[in-house]
Amino acid sequence: IGKIRFIPAATKKGDSVDIRILDFNQLSDGQLYFMTSKGKPVYKQLTDEPFLAINTLYKERYSIRLNTRVEENHDPEIWEEFFSLNPGTMEMYRKDPDIMIIFKLVSGEGELFHLYANDRIKRARFAFGGGKTRPFTYKILDGCLACGICMDNCVEGAIRHENGRYFISEVDCDDCGICYRKCPTRETSMSKTFYE
């Protein structure tokens, strides 16, 4: 994300969401930061509920999704480094620099998603800052009858069969639910858990 910089980011706004482009900077400590004005709606939204949802594309075939908690940063060294990379922002707010505030992405979870030219996917989920990795929605359980219907219908070829058991290769799974819909004994053979 630090290489992309300008990314759509959503915040909670009452019973709805609000989205805008934010300018993210990865600083020498390896962390991601962004700046906004205390007079903007996004500042109030983040002080009410300090969470961002980010989703962007990198080099056309890589999607990056991130759900993160943020917090204000008041470290003078961080501010100095941030504005050395963004002199235009400092110039823009030169008449009232105290209105600026820097936020740091502190914890959360996300996903890297690679869509190949042949429409096959690869994905990896991760967490940072003490966050928890988002589990995949579908899982084949011990009660599976090993009929193979799920494997025959999987659009991504993500279901494997080894040692008489079926399982989902999460890195290949589109999380679409076709296997669950097609399973004749899904009540005992599969689980479906939506992320809360």
Last residue of a domain, one of 99, 128, 157: 128
Q: Which residue has the tokens 């100095």?
A: 80
Residue 1 domain-assigned (yes or no) = no
Total count of domains within the chain? 2
Q: Are residues 17 and 107 in the same domain?
A: yes
Q: Helical H runs in 35-173?
A: 41-48, 76-85, 87-92, 149-153
In angstroms, rounded to a whole number, what is the distance separating the alpha carbons of residues 40 and 65? 24
**178 burial via Cβ count (<10 Å: 0-12, 13-18, 19+):** middle
Within the chain, what is the greatest distance between any pair of CA atoms? 70
Q: Residue 196 — pLDDT band, cuts 50, 70, 90?
A: low
Q: Are residues 51 and 72 in the same domain?
A: yes
Q: Please report, for residues 56, 63, 87, 114, the alpha-carbon distance to residue 59 in angstroms, rounded to integers and kept in the order given.
A: 10, 9, 27, 10
Q: Are residues 55 and 116 in the same domain?
A: yes
Q: Are residues 64 and 161 in the same domain?
A: no
Given this model, what pLDDT does residue 57 score? 86
Q: Are residues 124 and 46 in the same domain?
A: yes
Residue 133 domain-assigned (yes or no) = no
Q: What are phi and psi of 43, to 5 degrees?
A: -65, -45
Beta carbons of 172 and 155 less than 8 angstroms apart: no
Q: Give the CATH number, domain containing residue 165.
A: 3.30.70.20
Last residue of a domain, one of 82, 100, 128: 128
Q: Residue 104 — pLDDT band, cuts 50, 70, 90?
A: very high
Given this model, what pLDDT does residue 120 score? 76
Q: Are residues 115 and 83 in the same domain?
A: yes
Say whether pLDDT at 51 is over 90. Answer: yes
Domain that holds residue 123: 6-128
pLDDT, mean of residues 27-41: 95
Q: Are residues 12 and 109 in the same domain?
A: yes
Per residue in 125-183, pLDDT (tens digit) is 999 999 999 999 999 999 999 999 999 999 999 999 999 899 999 999 999 999 999 99
The neighbour count for residue 13, using CB atoms within 10 Å, is 15
Given this model, what pLDDT does residue 59 score? 81
Q: Give the CATH number, domain containing residue 51.
A: 2.30.110.10
Q: Are residues 121 and 151 in the same domain?
A: no
Q: Are residues 176 and 103 in the same domain?
A: no
Q: Are residues 64 and 20 in the same domain?
A: yes
